Amino acid sequence: MNLVTDKNYCLFKIDENIYCARFLDKKIDRFELEFNLEQGTCFNTFLLVDKNELIIIHPPEENYTDLLLNIISEVLKTAEVKSFNIVTGHINPKIIECLKVIVKKFQNVTITCSNPGLKLIKDLWGQKKPNEDKVLEIDMPIINLVKKETTLFPDKIDLRLIPAPTARWPGGLIVYCQAQQILFSEKIFSAHIATENWSEKNRLSTENDRKYFYDCLMAPMSSQITNLTEKIAELDIKTIAPIHGPAIEYSLQSLLNDYVRWGGKLLTNNPKVVLIYASAYGNTASIGDALAKGINRTSIEVESINCEFASNQNLSDSIKRADGYLIGSPTLGGHAPTPIVSALGTLLSEGDKNKPIGIFGSFGWSGEAIDLLESKLKDGGFTFSFEPIRIKFSPSKPKIKELEEIGTHFGRKLLTKLKKKSRTTDAGMISSRTNPTLQALGRVVGSLCVLTAAKGKEKNRITGAMLASWVSQASFSPPGISIAVAKDRAVESLLQKGDQFALNILSEKNFKDSLKTFTKPFAPGEDRFSNIETDLTPNNQIIISDSLAWLDASVKDRMECGDHWIIYAEVNYGNVLRKGDLTAVHHRKSGSSY
């Protein structure tokens, strides 16, 4: 199956006349939240040769264009192709640049896309990139417009085209090859993993990566994604081949069930925040992704709306249902895009000024769009939950973490406000204090510790910390520990599989200073260690110098347990700093809170 393996790409022969060109990036250093597992990434482009036609499904970004042209030459060695059909739903400025090169090099090129996809192509085809003096002027090719589910080449290769619009990717187009039962699923079911293996070994080998991808990008569109998954489940599928990551050939039903289950957890009666945005180059969308992920940690549902493709009625209905609002915009030519201006008007007329709101945006040279949002909403009587977020171009890794924390703070404040509004009696609180089961649970004690975590180098180094008392030794060989981490803890994003951290075990003689420091709320982006004497473990994890002892550990597994994650980690190093002291212990009277 694997025809070519190179450090930059792999070429797989999936079936007779069906190929996958996988472009590899094992050291990707982009700042989007979705890449934070640091597994690299790959981009899968599929080539189908049918007599005199070459079909290219999911063309890559411009940095892979030369490789793609070489692969096309390799695939077409013995074929006499006279026409090219490019099927694309995932569209951004860099993919447009790749399309331009293909259109310039080959004759008889057709682009097959959905209606929203065509709008994106038209908007981007003649758009000048930042810091570019002129545009490569190439006429747009013939467009084959897919307005509803249809079949491409029914007499030949028989491809079923399924429009799959979502807020993040309004031009989404899924391709189902009926003869070979292969689903080219685009972004859905993807994972950012750089691998030279055509398919995953088993479901467990990639489950963490696919769940993380879902949490980062799919969760704010959970209702749309669940509907798509249920539709896909009706097809007879042997292989799912997404844009990113290995193909799925085993336990397909398990993956589909997971997507429905993950979405079902979000489709509840929990509070909802509507996130309204437009994004020219993806930077504003990346800011929104980070805010949404932080809010999701508090069990609040985020509904993501790309106002460039949403109807006024849908936008109005979502605003009326929401308990809080976020709105973000890029600045293009010194202005906000027209759809954002229209959405702002709807928010001003339909939104409740007593509900929390936050604004954000990216810009290249100036930020007039963010100024517009701020002034209009302030004049409209809205109160901002956080200072307007203004980011030049794309956010850095530390900024992404800060954005997550801003989202979590936004969610927590919203929950607090809603609880105060709905609380008519404290009977529930009294019950929790007197419930004998909860009183008994509170007698389970744990050592008082501070978990510290650090990741990255120099300007991209991010750190976090939290007070931990739900800690236990979990294994002798290898030595291991388990720690319960609340889902809304900022440090949770630094405790993925493969990440490292330090556990600082506190002494009963001097734990109060650390207790005071790490029980107070930290502002988003605040340095947790600014006034604390620290040292480093051999793995560059942070030691609090006043600790009784410390352990350096690596996360080996995670298990979702209600409102917490259970982290299992193997211990790499450790030391006792205060040999005459005893461990500080956390005593509680109730199991209903810390």
Within the chain, what is the greatest distance between any pair of CA atoms? 82
3-state secondary structure 315-384: HHHHHHHCCEEEEECCCECCECCHHHHHHHHHHHHHCCCCCCEEEEEEECCCCHHHHHHHHHHHHCCCCE
Same domain flag for 494 and 397: no
**458 in the Ramachandran plot: left (φ > 0), alpha (ψ -120 to 50) or beta?**
left
Same domain flag for 73 and 91: yes
Which one-letter DSSP state was computed for residue 520? S
Instruction: Determine the Cα–Cα distance for residues 182 and 239; give it in Å rounded to an integer.
Output: 5
Same domain flag for 109 and 153: yes
Same domain flag for 466 and 359: no
Q: Give domain status of residue 427, yes or no.
A: no
Same domain flag for 96 and 221: yes
Q: Give domain status of residue 151, yes or no.
A: yes
Contact 403, 394 (CB under 8 A): no
Q: Give domain status of residue 490, yes or no.
A: yes
Identify the pLDDT of residue 267. Answer: 62
Instruction: Determine the Cα–Cα distance for residues 205 and 245; give it in Å rounded to an integer.
Output: 12
Instruction: Determine the Cα–Cα distance for residues 54 and 86; give it in Å rounded to an integer.
Output: 8
Identify the pLDDT of residue 426. Answer: 45
**What's the token pair of residue 495?**
């405790």
Q: Give domain status of residue 483, yes or no.
A: yes
Same domain flag for 68 and 213: yes
Strand 564-576 relative to strand 585-586: parallel, antiparallel, unpaired?
unpaired
Q: Which domain holds residue 95?
A: 2-265
Helices (H), 176-282: 203-213, 222-232, 252-266
Q: How far is CA 250 from the centre of its chain?
A: 24
Same domain flag for 250 and 286: no
Same domain flag for 260 and 286: no
Same domain flag for 218 and 278: no
Same domain flag for 301 and 366: yes
Contact 194, 40 (CB under 8 A): yes
For 210-223, the pLDDT digits (tens) are: 999 999 999 999 99
One-letter identity of residue 285: A
Same domain flag for 103 and 27: yes
Instruction: Determine the Cα–Cα distance for residues 220 and 330; give it in Å rounded to an integer.
Output: 20
**What's the token pair of residue 474?**
């979990």
Identify the pLDDT of residue 433. Answer: 63
In the chain, the number of structural domains is: 3
Q: Which helix (H) or strand (E) holds 302?
A: strand 301-306
Contact 281, 313 (CB under 8 A): no
Identify the pLDDT of residue 424. Answer: 45
Beta bridge partners of 283: none
Instruction: Determine the Cα–Cα distance for residues 565 and 486; give it in Å rounded to an integer.
Output: 6
Computed on alpha carbons and rounded to an integer, the radius of gyration of the chain in Å comes to 26
Residues of the chain falling short of pLDDT 70: 1-3, 29-31, 78, 128-136, 154-155, 266-269, 421-433
Q: Calculate the alpha carbon distances from 517 to 453, 483, 512 in Å.
A: 16, 20, 9
